Structure 1
Amino acid sequence: MKAFAVPAKPPSAAAIPTTATARELAGTYRLFAQLGWHDLIYNQITARVPGTEKFLINPFGLMYREVTASNLLKIDLHGHKVEPSPYSTNPAGFAVHTHTTAGQVVSCQRDGLLPLSFTSVFYTGRLAYHDFEGITLEREQSQRLAADLGRSNVMILRNHGLLVCGASIADAFADHYLLQRACEVQFAAQATGAALIQPSNDIATHAAEQFDLSARKGDQNRMLFDAMLRWTLELNPDFCR
């Protein structure tokens, strides 16, 4: 597999074959392992198979550093395997869900993510919340979570962790990176015990609009994701097999 180059014009999701989607998803698992965004064999990242109602997900029981393009599982909308595999699935798994320390710390705070930093203001007006109900295994609970998510792609699961969706793997990765970074900065800033400066809501909203406009120019999410995949390809090229 060649190193991921920065494309002049990224292809549409429908144009990407399943094998390419599997390689990108496997590479994303390795990236999360490299960045420390994993919880042993738990959590999950999923990707829709272009043009279908099927999804790819990690085999439950493997660590993120063990995931490859060939051992990913294909599941339907109900989380059932649609192809033979010796591995089982995590029935709670769709999208990107993590239990990072910083994400869980912020999820336990009554006010959630505060617009304290350059990164966190990006989520002004974009962040959804869902109250803790235990592990999401029941259909009714999933429906409540989806209702709380609404039109947002980023959510803090209270007392639990982070949840991110996206139109592409690249978009979901970029959003998780920024949300995780915002949580890390808030955690560190609060730990100093010093008085914190919080921008006004008008300034935070304006900054969020600037971020959104900038991110859409030249598809920066795709460029960021490709750069990160080149890094993991250099360190862990076996994810492509």
Structure 2
Amino acid sequence: MNIALSTQIESLKTEVSPEEWDLRVDLAAAYRLIAHHGWDDLIFTHISVRIPGPEHHFLINPYGFLFEEITASSLVKVDLNGKKVMNSPYEINPAGFTIHSAVHEGRDSAKCVMHTHTTNGIAVSAQKEGLLPLSQQSLFCLSSMSYHDYEGVALRDDEKPRLVADLGNANFMILKNHGLLTCAPSIADTFLAMYTLETACDIQIKAQASPELSLVPNSVISNMMEQASESTHGLGGALAWPALLRKLDRLDSSFRT
């Protein structure tokens, strides 16, 4: 692998379908938002999105790029075996491929998968009881939460079925002693889910400075997904996504190239 990577690449806009290009722009935006919020771990975490069609191709970050450098054209298109299906000078993170290909293959509804290694996310993942019902944000997550035990760096194919089984139909997953994962039918929904989960973990770590905590009763959790839909007028992440893109355009619109 060439470690002296150039971040300059010719635009692929005319070489892919309009639908794929839109996904590339949104995925590059999601990487920039991760960097903006300080959730990146140098070059070592991942977001992927499945391209519509029967081939199960998906886009993932070029290994070696900071998230603030990623553009629509630098994203790498691979199949479920990790093989590049479109010419690219860049490689991908094998651990990122293992986790994301497992979820994309096992959950057809998981069009986008996001994974982070934030300090507070890992701190909560190391706690025996996991995420606690301490905040409104945590309740949204707990209404669709799953856990997966740590098995080492995710490089082995034999871990895939266990990860998919643990995920089930949940949209939020805590990878114990490792980090956080969210998935959804769209990039916007997946980002909103991660924003909510990261915020819930931040709140939990801060709240645990107190010797006495007030936990929300489990009976409240069951209605949280319905309330979340009502509060976003049924749009989910799509309600906030245009505003987030406007923010990125004000900061640096190069993600669109």
TM-score (norm 2): 0.83
Match of 2:86 in 1: 83
1:129 to 121, 124, 147: 147
2:229–2:236 contact (8 Å) kept in structure 1:
no
Give how far 1:124 is off. 2.7
* Partner in structure 1 of residue 8 of structure 2: none
* Runs of at least 5 residues in structure 1 that lack an aligned partner in the other structure: 1-14
Provide, for residues 41-98 of structure 1, a one-character-per-residue CA deviation record: whole Å limited to 9, x for no partner. 1101001112241101110011001100111100101222112222111122222110
1:139 alignment partner AA:
D
**What RMSD in Å do the two structures reach over aligned CA positions?**
1.6
Q: Which amino acid aligns with 2:212?
A: A
2:159: which partner in 1? 141
Q: Which amino acid counterpart does residue 226 of structure 1 have in structure 2?
A: P
Q: Any unmatched runs of 5+ in structure 2?
A: 1-16, 101-112
The equivalent residue for 1:54 is 57
CA contact (8 A) 1:106 1:112 kept: yes
- Measured in 2, the distance between the counterparts of 1:161 and 1:223 equals 27
**8 Å CA contact retained: 1:27, 1:233:** no
Matched with 2:174 is 156
TM-score, normalised via structure 1 length: 0.89
Q: How does 1:34-113 map to 2 (within 5 A)?
A: 34-51=36-53, 52-93=55-96, 94=100, 95-113=113-131
Give the corresponding residue for 1:231: 247
Aligned position for 1:20: 22
More deviation, 60-69/50-59: 50-59
| Residue of structure 2 in register with 1:178 after alignment | 196
Higher relative contact order (CA 8 A, sep 6+): 1
Matched, 1:168 2:189: no
SS in 2 for 1:46: strand
Name the CA distance, whole Å, in 1 between partners of 2:213 and 2:131.
Answer: 14
Whichever residue aligns with residue 107 of structure 1, its letter is S
Cα deviation 1:155-187 (Å, max 9, x = unaligned)? 000000001111010110010000111001001
* Number of positions where the alignment pairs a residue of Structure 1 with one of Structure 2: 225
Aligned equivalent of 2:106: none
Q: Give the whole-Å Cα distance in 2 for the aligned partners of 1:57 and 1:233.
A: 22
Shift of 1:106: 0.4
Does 1:221 pair with 2:237?
yes
Distance 2:119 2:144 in 1: 22
Structure 2: how far apart are the matches of 1:21 and 1:228?
15
Identical amino acids, percent of aligned pairs = 45
Counterpart-to-counterpart distance in 1, 2:171 and 2:142: 13
Instruction: State the 1:208 CA deviation.
Output: 4.5
Do 2:131 and 2:138's aligned partners in 1 also have CA atoms closer than 8 Å? yes
